[in-house]
Structure 1
Amino acid sequence: MISTFFDHELKAFWRSKNTGKNITVKVVMGILIFILFLYVLALGVFMDKLLGAMFPQEDLTVAFCGVVLVYFLYDLLMRLQLQELPTLKVQPYLHLPVKRNSVVGYLALTALLSFFNLWPIIIFGPFILKVILPASGALTTLVFIVSIIGFSIFNNYLALYIKRKANLNGWIFLIAGAVLSLAICGDYVWHLYSLKAGSYLFFGNLIAMPYLVLLPLTLAAAMYYVNFYYLKDNLYLEELTTKKDAAPKSSTEIPLLNRFGHVGDLVANEVKLILRNKRPRSALVMGLFFMFYGLIFYTNPKLGESFKIFVGMFMTGIFIINYGQFMFSWQAAHFDGLLVSKIKFADFLKAKYLLFTIVSTVAFILTTPYVYFGWRTVLIHFIMYLWNLGVNTTIVLYFANRNYKRIDLSKGASFNWEGVGASQLLLSFPLILFPYVIFLPFKYMGYPNVGLATLAIIGIAFIITRNFWLQKLEADFYTKRFKIAEGFRNK
């Protein structure tokens, strides 16, 4: 039956009207993955030399045993962001005499075809063969390789389980990402424990006690069956919504938004869209990771204050930039319905402004710990927060009126250029250059404070005159709405 499913997917691919485009994308992706493969292979071949340089006081095997589990922690974090869920259109099979176990088994097994499962073998395999095999023998070499495969499969199915659960509740994804980030910070930032010591506790003892290989194999098998039974229990679409529809719901389910009336309802729907779909949720998660962006620049004393403008703009406005430029593309699947609905486009725009204001305000609050680098740093963040709410929001929504490419919400953000066009490339120039066009002349004249004040005044002026810009954007939209709709119909 698995071969039948595979044959059906091949036929669906070749019979699609976008086959030519899909082949081109896959060829380009194949070339990029092959180049990445060569880099990873080089890392594996020279790992003994890298570990020797990083830990000159330690034995190579001890150093290796200390980094393996640390790698898998980062591997899980990358999988949550980049790994795609294996998919199969199950609806055509549900009324046929096809066993549910066959359908679920196909989905579970095809998950092993991810290139993420290949990286650990390529990275660690050469070191194991070069160092551990001559020193400890064939049995130890075998249990090391099997353990690495076991942990890789465990990570594979754990990441897929978290992402599947997150499709029903977006907070699960955020919580999982926060837990992993805190686990990493607990070692490298707060020094509460040592991940390296925990890794050596297992792999170091694996040399003397080969039967410990049963632990990663057991974890991998358990995680496989957790995924298998979760998919089996939720194979029918109505089973996914039975419990959720039983409880009464408010109009928005977010009390804070009730006071904004119809605009609040639109924002609440937007929040649901973000939390329930991969691509927009990735824009939100990326914004959370950008909160650490300042640590790259502020810890380098050679970088001047001009970089704080750039960093402050991105930390407080990355969601506006990432999400806002695809303003209509998120609703591409039902855009024709929006055009004939009773929703006023002015309310639609106001909802976007309100959403951006809420997320940017939260982002600014999250950046206040950078007061550690001085109160002036937080002041610059606040100025760029005003700039984002006033100027950048208007620029982003203006360019969104010129994006005619649809987006499939179910697809992830990794290696996904769907919806990206020339307008996104042009957008980067005003967003990055405009603040410096205003600030740098004052700085070179010796009045940097006047430059910052000018940025703040312009940002506030745009916020105060927001209704004027709303009218301009609305009029611009009405001249392009049919062209946008036509672009979204081209799948």
Structure 2
Amino acid sequence: MFKIFITLQWKSFFRSSSMGKGLLLKSLMAFFAIYMLALLVFSGGTLYFVLKKISPDASPMWTLSQYLVYWVLAEVLFRYFMQKLPVMDIKPLLLQRIKKSSIAHYILARSGVSAYNLMALFFFVPFGIVLLYQGYPPLNIITWLFSILGIVLSVNYINFLINKSEKALIVIGSIIVLFFALDYFGLLMARDFFGPIFNGLFAYPGTVFIPLLLALSAYFINFKFLRNRISLDESLKAKSTEAKTSDLAWTRKFGDMAPFLQLDLRLIWRNKRTKSQVFISLLFVFYGLIFYTQEIYAQMYPMYAFLGIFMTGIFLTNFGQFIPAWDSAYYNMMMAQNIPLRKYLESKALLISVSVVVMFFLTIPYSYFGWDVLAINFATALYNLGVNIPVILFFGSLNKKRIELDKSPFGNMQGTSATQFLIILPVLGAPILLFTGLYFLVSLEAGVIALSLLGLLGLLFRDKLTALITEQYRIKKYGMIAGFKEKNS
């Protein structure tokens, strides 16, 4: 049965309308994954010598055991935000003679071989191999590695149970803060308390059954939970939510664009993923404090150009790169109506333009670090308004992947394709390279003036650029509609 499930998902991937871009995206992700795994192998292989240098009088295994409790808590927190739980389109399968238990086992088994589990093994196995060369008992090392595997799988399946619970997130975060606070003030050294426990997994090989039994228990708890939830009735239950309305009357002054602006504003406010983009953008206003306050970055103007493009255009990038996929659930309905496509795109441009202006005003306090910072942020804001907004709208015509707005925003790669990686080059790379070249070859003022002029030219020719982009959307219209219909794209 597992072979059938794998075959079905394999066919789903290759028959997708966005298969080409999906393949390119997966190739890029595979490259970065190989790089990360190689880095983990190197880190694990050198960990023994690093720990030996830090604590020459203590065993590296003992030193590592003292900090494993923080690794476990960090692993839980990391997975909560980043790990995407394995899903499959099970509704058609429920109409066939397939046991619910087989479907549940397949979902859990897929999760067991996820990249998140491999990350820990690629780190700890090289460390174990070094221990072998250093004369540590092979039996203890092997059972300890199986214990680590048991802990990793336990965390993996526990994440299934707590992933949608905000209370669990608060509890985990509070425990981490509490442990660090107790350590910092010397009230209770968490590493001294948990160190002997984790070291016991190495010193006593028989204890390997404890984490393995914990992983097995977490597996069967999830199995029972999934098996009871796999039914057509469960998916057909109506969700009752409190309706919140707002007429957004102030948008009417924008004329024909008002309906689209109202739609976008309601979409942003009512959905998790879009709402998170707003909060993330506001948080990144403080990103400059990391660099402006450091002496090492003083007078490093190319870095300032990056900060200007990034901070004033963070919403432009985060929200704009998924236009029009945000509307994918009803995009085919919109395109079937007598809706002026140009007004639709102009409303998106207006919304992003407002965000750029707001973000620029929020960065004005950084002028405390010098008027050159304010000048660069102003020039990059103009560049974002005149150049990057048309660029981001143009690349939006290449989006064919559907976005489910009610999904969790954390670790959610839905709607991501090779387009999102290609956008980085013109949006971030081009202005930074231009500014850097002019700064080193001519002067700081030349770089600022060039970005400002390009931004003004983009605003001057906005109508012509919008006409060209609108035509591109008309050409790609039916391909986008077909792609948005695929829920597993």
Give the secondary-structure state (helix, strand or coil) at the position aligned to 1:118: helix
| Residue among 393, 412, 415 paired with 1:401 | 393
The equivalent residue for 1:235 is: 230
- Asked whether the 8 Å contact 2:278–2:315 carries over to 1, the reply is yes
Partners of 2:63 and 2:333 in 1: how far apart? 60
Counterparts in 2 of 1:51 and 1:360: CA distance versus 1, 3 Å = farther
- Asked whether the 8 Å contact 1:65–1:203 carries over to 2, the reply is yes
- Asked whether the 8 Å contact 1:335–1:485 carries over to 2, the reply is no
| Residue among 194, 202, 215 paired with 2:194 | 202
2:235 is equivalent to residue 250 of structure 1 = no
Letter of the 1:269 counterpart: L
The equivalent residue for 1:154 is: 154
- Asked whether the 8 Å contact 2:401–2:417 carries over to 1, the reply is no
Larger RCO: Structure 1 or Structure 2 (Cα < 8 Å, ≥ 6 residues apart)?
Answer: 2
Unpaired runs of at least 5, structure 2 = 253-258, 405-410, 484-489
| Residue among 289, 293, 302 paired with 1:298 | 293
The equivalent residue for 1:264 is: 262
- Asked whether the 8 Å contact 2:401–2:416 carries over to 1, the reply is no
**% of aligned pairs identical?**
18
Give the secondary-structure state (helix, strand or coil) at the position aligned to 1:102: helix
Letter of the 1:90 counterpart: I
- Asked whether the 8 Å contact 2:306–2:432 carries over to 1, the reply is yes
The equivalent residue for 2:120 is: 120
Counterparts in 2 of 1:283 and 1:181: CA distance versus 1, 3 Å = farther
- Asked whether the 8 Å contact 1:396–1:427 carries over to 2, the reply is yes
Counterparts in 2 of 1:56 and 1:179: CA distance versus 1, 3 Å = same
Q: 1:24-423 residue pairs with structure 2 within 5 A?
A: 33-56=33-56, 58-76=58-76, 78-80=78-80, 83-128=83-128, 130-131=130-131, 137=137, 140-141=140-141, 144-160=144-160, 165=164, 176=169, 183=176, 187=180, 192=184, 197-199=189-191, 201-208=193-200, 210=204, 216-217=211-212, 220-221=215-216, 223-225=218-220, 227-232=222-227, 234-236=229-231, 239=234, 242=237, 244=239, 246-251=240-245, 260=251, 262=259, 263-272=261-270, 275=273, 291-292=286-287, 294-295=289-290, 298-304=293-299, 306=301, 307-331=303-327, 334-341=330-337, 345-346=342-343, 349-350=346-347, 353-354=350-351, 357=354, 361=358, 376-377=368-369, 391-403=383-395, 404-405=397-398, 406-409=400-403, 412-413=412-413, 417-420=417-420
The total of aligned residue pairs comes to: 462
Q: CA deviation at 1:64?
A: 1.3
Partners of 2:219 and 2:279 in 1: how far apart? 29
Q: Which moved more, 1:422-431 or 1:376-385?
A: 376-385
Counterparts in 2 of 1:33 and 1:391: CA distance versus 1, 3 Å = closer
Partners of 1:428 and 1:13 in 2: how far apart? 31
**What is the TM-score when the length of structure 1 is the normalising length?**
0.70
Q: CA deviation at 1:388?
A: 6.5
Counterparts in 2 of 1:348 and 1:181: CA distance versus 1, 3 Å = farther
Q: CA deviation at 1:376?
A: 1.0
Partners of 2:299 and 2:338 in 1: how far apart? 51
Partners of 1:160 and 1:181 in 2: how far apart? 20
Q: CA RMSD in A?
A: 5.3
Q: CA deviation at 1:95?
A: 2.0
Deviation string 1:448-480 (CA, Å, 9 cap, x unpaired) is 9xx79x999999x99xx98x8875665444333
- Asked whether the 8 Å contact 1:44–1:126 carries over to 2, the reply is yes
Partners of 2:25 and 2:109 in 1: how far apart? 24
- Asked whether the 8 Å contact 1:290–1:314 carries over to 2, the reply is no
Counterparts in 2 of 1:152 and 1:337: CA distance versus 1, 3 Å = same
Counterparts in 2 of 1:395 and 1:355: CA distance versus 1, 3 Å = closer
Letter of the 2:267 counterpart: N
The equivalent residue for 2:256 is: none
